[in-house]
Amino acid sequence: MNRTTQILLNLAHALDHFFLLIFAAAVGAIAQDFGLARWEDMMPYTTGAFVLFGLGSVPAGRLGDLWGRRRMMLVFFFGMGLSALAVACTQSPREMALALVVLGAFSSIYHPVGIPMLLQSATRPGWTIGVNGLAGNLGIAAAALSTGFLVQHFGWRTAFVVPAVLCMILGGVFAWQAPHELAPVARSKAASVQMPQSLVLRTFLVMVMTATTTSLLFNFTTNGNAQLLAERLQGLVSDPATLGLLLAAVYAVGSLAQLVVGRLLDRVAVKPLFVSVLALQCLAFFVASQSTGWHWYLAAIGYMVMVFAAIPFSDAMVVRYIDDSMRSRVSGIRIAISFGISSLAVYLLGPVVKVAGFDALMTLMAVIAALGVAAVLCLPGQEGIDRAQERAAA
């Protein structure tokens, strides 16, 4: 795989998260244009996009292995671009809901297809995963910045059109630069990992469990941090702009953790490193639950560093334990299950805080992190993997 293709696959990760957040950033202008009194009335129409983002991972992963990852990434680039143009052409909330569902379906392609494609020829898979994760986070930040500018100066429809055109241009470059596959990976005779099915199943169950706990914590924190920040710094900081800057700083520092973990993954065994990260995550949430003011802010930086640090491990485990011929299918199933369960975090966030407060929520997050530690302890150790591979080779 050439350097240009690697860059395009990382840009695709940024675009994947970018497109899913355009609606949230422009929802006020969209609601006003469609004649709705409040932006909250428009939010339910985006539910289908996130449902398809998870469920679509299963067929996308299967097609990636059996039909071809390069072909599926071309479907991603052009499908995302065309569906975003369709969103820009909608004239009612129902039309937009349908167009967003299609957008969500195409967005589901990247994670089970693009990441395995990026990793199949990586000499430093840990670092590759870290850079790719950082690219996704930059897409989140870019969505907020560019959408606000385009909505203010050109209207909300332009906020979809401009990235749609860019996405299809990148798709054209990808079609030109990405090397053709001699055969879909599922039909390849090469095998990078040889393990008994029982060990693969055990590893898969651990991956699903840890991906679910990691996604739950990600959704709880990213959706609740703004209100939590305002509560914990009450009397110290009240200006919304300053609060936003402080929150952005938390995310900026946390995002860099993926690069650090990525480098460590190339040098340290997965299991002890993952246990250490989740144990520190549990500790950080507990400390935050007992803190206020600036002490809480430092604890918040700590737990967000650990939340972001845990993200690369799901893909790292796929690389380490799953043969390349079935990585897209395994990733698709894992993503569908973990994203489906973790979406409950957004629904439960309000009721939990309303009834029990943020202290209880942070304690709950510490417990979820502890469950993740327990799951990782069931992961096969390096010596067991080496013995299994030797037996399989024999």
| Predicted pLDDT of residue 380 | 74
| Predicted pLDDT of residue 71 | 93
Determine, yes or no, domain membership for 16: yes
Determine, yes or no, domain membership for 191: no
| Predicted pLDDT of residue 191 | 47
Q: How many residues does the chain have?
A: 394
Residue 215 sits in the same domain as residue 310 = yes
Residue 241 sits in the same domain as residue 373 = yes
Residue 226, φ and ψ in degrees, nearest 5: -60, -50
| Predicted pLDDT of residue 169 | 96
Domain count, the chain: 2
Q: Residue range 75-82: average pLDDT?
A: 96
Residue 118 sits in the same domain as residue 164 = yes
Question: Cβ(358)–Cβ(229) under 8 Å?
Answer: no
State the pLDDT confidence band at 158, using cuts at 50, 70 and 90: very high
Question: Cβ(373)–Cβ(282) under 8 Å?
Answer: yes
Residue 89 sits in the same domain as residue 217 = no
pLDDT > 50? residue 126: yes
pLDDT > 70? residue 217: yes
Residue 71 sits in the same domain as residue 135 = yes
State the pLDDT confidence band at 189, using cuts at 50, 70 and 90: low
| Predicted pLDDT of residue 382 | 60
| CA–CA–CA angle 300, 306, 309 (5° rounding) | 140
Please, which residues have CB within 8 angstroms of residue 161's CB and are 6 or more apart in sequence? 84, 85, 88
pLDDT > 70? residue 187: no
| Predicted pLDDT of residue 168 | 96
* CA–CA dist 178, 3 (Å, integer): 10
Determine, yes or no, domain membership for 80: yes
Residue 175 sits in the same domain as residue 216 = no
Q: Residue range 127-144: average pLDDT?
A: 82
Q: What's the one-letter identity of residue 196? A: P
Domain end (from 116, 147, 181):
181
Residue 264 sits in the same domain as residue 382 = yes
| Predicted pLDDT of residue 11 | 95
Residue 177 sits in the same domain as residue 220 = no
Residue 154 sits in the same domain as residue 263 = no
| Predicted pLDDT of residue 180 | 86
Q: Which of 163-177, 182-196, 318-332, 348-362 has the highest mean pLDDT?
A: 163-177
What tokens were used for 308?
């972001």
**CATH code where residue 98 lies:** 1.20.1250.20
Residue 43 sits in the same domain as residue 174 = yes
Determine, yes or no, domain membership for 168: yes
* CA–CA dist 275, 377 (Å, integer): 7
Question: Which range marks the domain in which residue 354 is found?
Answer: 197-393
pLDDT digits (tens, 9 = 90+) for 228-287: 787 888 878 777 667 767 877 787 788 888 889 888 988 888 889 999 999 999 999 889
Residue 33 sits in the same domain as residue 162 = yes
Q: E strands of 129-252, at which residues?
A: none
Domain end (from 120, 150, 181):
181
Please, which residues have CB within 8 angstroms of residue 32's CB and are 6 or more apart in sequence? none
| Predicted pLDDT of residue 70 | 92
pLDDT > 70? residue 136: yes
The 10 Å CB-count burial string (b at 16+, else e) for 348-364 is ebeebbeeeebeebbbb
Determine, yes or no, domain membership for 189: no
pLDDT > 70? residue 391: no
Domain end (from 148, 181, 214):
181
